[in-house]
Structure 1
Amino acid sequence: MTTNPTLVLGGTGKTGRRVAHRLADLDVPVRLGSRAGTPPFDWTDPAGWDPVLAGVGAVYLTYQPDLAAPGGAEVVAAFARRAAAHDVRRIVLLSGRGEPEAEHAEAAVRAAGVPCTVLRASWFQQNFSESHLVDPVRAGVVALPVGDVPEPFVDADDIADVAVAALSGDGHAGQLYELTGPRALTFAEAVAGIAAATGRDVRFTTVTTEAYAARLAAEGVPNAVAGLLTYLFTEVLDGRNAHVADGVEQVLGRPARDFAGYAAATAVTGVWKP
């Protein structure tokens, strides 16, 4: 097994920390790419990229805030070129389904010349427990500018399992895997599943884009982040991603984790208690 470390960007994030833990369990040396890492990594400081890439064999590449954000494709392309200059042997890129801007970023990373595997993931189940939706769930009302369009929410643990397989195994270079859960749910159905798992009254309601944006502003969410969230809810959730894909089973040989199992396992942790 290689002694070169695998660089995990976003190493403290939803998927990155899961990937890092799994690699460590396989005795793969891991270098965390974060502001608190050693050496530190910051997407806004290209001068610091070379020390982070020095001696690295593979990279799990996640971009914050999102590949669809303005300028995202250019930034990750520049990083991938630096990775190529450091003789990195493989990149596993986390991307999003149905985002044209993310697809531009995928092409830009591939063009850098490092063998690349693309993971196009649907909405994370963990967005309800580890991200911007956890507080609304705790409050009992999840209000979003989305209607009855179904989404096959994917478990972040499945993403991590696929990423580790692509980082550590053969036959994944040049592949594109679409990662979803095994069935599509509307946001109302997903919230109802959380309510059933917790035994609490947690409701979903549809709001206008204007009302959602105003709430984000009142909560102090930065304009760039608010704009990205609004874009994802109003543009990407238009039905284009409603179909289920088999990327998880294709790579791992098992079905993807279902939302009901995620909700039940998360409920017992107490994260959704008011």
Structure 2
Amino acid sequence: MPLFAANLTMMFTEKPFMERFAAAAAAGFREVEYLFPYDHSAEAIAAALEVNGLRQALFNCPPGDWEAGERGLACLPGREAEFEASLDTALAYAEIIGVPRLHLMAGLGSAADPEQRATYLRSVARAAERLDAAGLQLVLEPINPIDMPGYFLNDFDLAAAIIAEVGAPNVALQFDFYHCQRIHGDLCRRFGEMAAITGHVQIAGVPGRHEPDVGEIRYDTVFALLDRLDYRGAVGCEYRPAGETEAGLGWFHPWRAPVRA
């Protein structure tokens, strides 16, 4: 049975961020994820997780200047010192919050550029080394060029090749079915081929990125596939509710955990 993680960057946005933990728990989620925790103290987030009986599934390493349009540092030559500092920050938060994996954003660039590809490989290897020392998994996520034009890691086969080339046992794929459908399609076959290197899964409806029961993906088939392939990780609900979050959770009711007393 899939174990779902509410994405608090996109869900329960009717409430301030720190109140979304309680809202997710009340809705029956037992895991959460979000893009970035860095606007809040790690101690406050750890406390919110504990009081609400939640586990942290994932968050992202710092991406550079997000407001200025940066989407990661890993492929950018000349930004190595900032990249190293971003790992310092991510690992400090991870230690306090408690999380089994971190997502490393690649940045805007092109894998066809030899210097950028070499920089990315070095960055992934360095991040893998540092996360391994902390007992953490590193995940890499291909992002589709419609939602994020110019993103370096925009192909699932490229991601698999990078993981193989780096060769670190704690580097895995973040398999987002929404992004895969928008890039490639043929989801079940592709996930079947990549399940062995997958460390985290995410879902959303296509094309609107709304609830997973709306759009062109049959998630009942996907969830059955996850069970059949014995996927044991969390399934991140990285979608934007079409209306109020709780009004769109009918799809989730069969899997929701009992509300804590």
TM-score (norm 2): 0.38
TM-score (norm 1): 0.37
Q: Which has the higher contact order (CA 8 A, sep 6+)?
A: 2
